[in-house]
Amino acid sequence: MISSDVIRGYNDTIILYLLLEKQSYGYEISKRIKELSNGKYVIKETTLYSAFNRLLKKGYIESFHKEQTFGKKRTYYRITESGLLYYQEKCREWELTKEVINQFIREDYL
């Protein structure tokens, strides 16, 4: 399992990546994160929904409702133009972060 202090700062990026694939809603996103990480990372519900609110406030995502006759009503989210820009920025930052932290990791200890 992965400590949350590491992922902190990348939860938003993870969510944006999934919304880039397709518009989605809370429950689906949490399943997809677990799936894509091979069960290595399971986001907490409260973490996920507070991330949605943060991203909404910043204008990086938009929420909307679909007409649906079945299932419980869901709030869907889609990524915005500025959300995409933010995501790209974060991707670049991630490459840098990897470089930096790698400098302090001893390969012979793995």
Q: What is the C-alpha separation between 31 and 6, in angstroms, rounded? A: 20
Q: Taking CB within 5 to 8 Å according to partner kind, which of DNA, its own copies, none is near residue 68?
A: none
The yes or no reply on residue 50 touching its own copies (CB under 8 A) is no
Binding mask 83-102 for its own copies (x = CB under 8 A): ----xx--xxxxxxxxxxx-
Residues that bind DNA (CB under 7 A): 4-5, 7-9, 11, 25-28, 43-47, 49-52, 54, 70-75
Q: Taking CB within 5 to 8 Å according to partner kind, which of its own copies, DNA, none is near residue 96?
A: its own copies
Long-range Cβ contacts of 24-28 (<8 Å, 24+ apart): 24/76, 24/77, 25/74, 25/75, 25/76, 25/77, 26/52, 26/74, 26/75, 27/74
Q: What is the C-alpha separation between 61 and 66, in angstroms, rounded? A: 16
Q: How far is the CB of 22 from its own copies (least distance, A)?
A: 14
Q: Among 25, 41, 49, 76, which residue sits at the site for its own copies (rule: CB under 8 A)?
A: 41
Residue corresponding to tokens 């990086």: 60
